[in-house]
Amino acid sequence: MSDWPILSIVTFLPLLGAVFILFVRGDQKTVARNSRQLALWTSIITFGLSLILISYFDTTTADFQYVEYVPWLSDYNIGYHLGVDGISIFFLLLTTFLIPICILASWDSIKDRVREFMIAFLIMETLVIGVFSSLDFIMFYIFFEGMLIPMYLIIGIWGGSRRVYSAFKFFLYTLVGSVLFLLAILWIYIEVGTTDIPTIMAYDFSSEAQIWLWLAMFASFAVKVPMWPFHTWLPDAHVEAPTSGSVILAGVLLKMGGYGFLRFSLPMLPEASHFFAPLVFALSVVAIIYTSLVALVQQDMKKLIAYSSVAHMGIVTIGIFSLNQQGIEGGIFQMLSHGIVSAALFLCVGVIYDRIHTREIAAYGGLVHRMPIYAFTFLIFTLASVGLPGTSGFVGEMLVFVGIFKANTWIAMLSLTGIILGAAYMLWLYRRIIFGELTKDNLKSIADLNLRELAIFIPLIGLALLMGIYPSPFLSVLHVSVENLLIQIGSTNDLTFFNADDHQLITRNFGSN
């Protein structure tokens, strides 16, 4: 395995598939069919190769694994440097898992410019995987900002009636925040003399420098999460994006901000992270309460789920900046859970939108009478979003709240209100759509899930339940890397509270529930 550049293959195989799709020839119908099939098989093979990464992953070390290094601009100490650790490996797997699902979800709904749509998705897959595997700041920034282009095109070309406005808003918000991030990278390069991320992690920045660098990075990562009040681009982007665009946006792209905090802000700038933790807590609590209340009054299904994403990511940022083992592991687990559950919820909306062509909640009701399999599927993901024990949402939230209770009891109490409000708006949404009398004429002939849609939902259901019933395999991979992160940020005192034996005991108890 050490001589096989598997990480480069996983990263750039989707790009190779996009190149092949460029050369597909024939009439419009043939091009569309072959483009779909090429994109699907490319993404499936990429996912299969990514499973090799986790199969041979060493959970006993916090070092980066599958490391590849080739001098690129050797005179400037800039190289092609890839590698993954226990934190980044699951985000890479989440990406390769969701892309085939996105392609299947768009199989019938995308009818115009199918070749270009598939190319955009495969290019975006390469760029997102590059974000989670880059160990050089310049490479990271290229991938980090490059993924805006295919997402901008997916929203702007295949989106709804206000797609151009939403695409511009998405692009400008995220790009403006990243300008300060670029300035931070340039300053770090001048100060340290390299853009190598492991080298920079070991560098001791002055307290004043850490403050300014943390704020510059925060400007970029807070928009990507998104944190309140930088979240206003998200509901518009979700509403106008095609279903598969919303899936990848909620499932993967929102995780880049949280990953940025974990990879850069915490280990590189520990003093500033401790200093600004109360600010993050305050913004996260506002996000949880405010966006949950806003979600309660939404009439558009996609907007409601979009606002719920902001609330859930507020729980994630609270967990990350609790700066203890349970909080950080819970934040990472919650990001993975949210990537599965929110993606599935947007797919659930897409199923009935493709049939009725409206997202208005008032247009539905009584679907259980015509779509019992759909009702059951929607129920699982609704309960997972609420955080029902036995689903993935419960494990992440429980660990986060244990962590934040250790850090600040008042913040924990305030953020717990998000659980109550989350149950309110999700169960309200489910009741309005699924239950009641089937009185609307256009719903009386609506069809239940077909085989293609079942093939999409079954893996998502399985993963949401597996993560909730038996989270130990996921937490065991995270544990050593998170422990090392705590050492880097100077929170070693927390390790005595939650040692390896305790970790195994807790995960074993989870697994037995």
Residue with the bigger pLDDT between 500 and 426: it is 426
Tens digits of residue pLDDT in 99-156? 999 999 888 888 888 888 899 999 999 999 999 999 988 899 999 888 888 988 888 8
What burial class does residue 204 get, using C-beta atoms within 10 Å of its C-beta: 0-12 exposed, 13-18 middle, 19+ buried? exposed
User: Does residue 472 carry a pLDDT above 50?
Assistant: yes
CB neighbour list of residue 205: distance below 8 Å, 6 or more residues apart: 191, 213, 268, 269
Tally DSSP H helices, then E strands, for the chain: 22, 2
Cα 158 to Cα 10, 39, 246, 409: the distances in Å are 27, 17, 12, 46
Domain coordinates in residue numbering, the chain: 6-512
Task: Please provide the DSSP assignment of 357-392 as one string.
Answer: ---BGGG---GGGT-HHHHHHHHHHHHHHHT-TTSH
Surface-to-core class of residue 339, CB atoms within 10 Å of its CB (0-12 exposed, 13-18 middle, 19+ buried): buried
10 Å Cβ neighbour count for 249? 23
The pLDDT score that the predictor gives to residue 505 is 38
* pLDDT tens column, 140-174: 999 988 888 898 888 888 887 788 888 888 888 88
Q: How do residues 225-242 score in pLDDT, each as one tens digit? A: 888 888 888 888 888 888
Taking the model in full, what pTM does it have? 0.87
Burial class from Cβ neighbours inside 10 Å (0-12, 13-18, 19+) for residue 439 reads exposed
Residues in the chain: 513
Label residue 506 by pLDDT band (50, 70, 90): very low
Question: Of 496 and 411, which is predicted with more confidence?
Answer: 411
- Position 1 pLDDT exceeds 60: no
- C-alpha span between 392 and 468 (Å, rounded): 4
243-299 pLDDT tens trace:
888 899 888 888 888 899 998 888 888 888 889 889 999 999 998 999 999 988 888
Q: Are 426 and 308 within 8 A, CB to CB?
A: yes
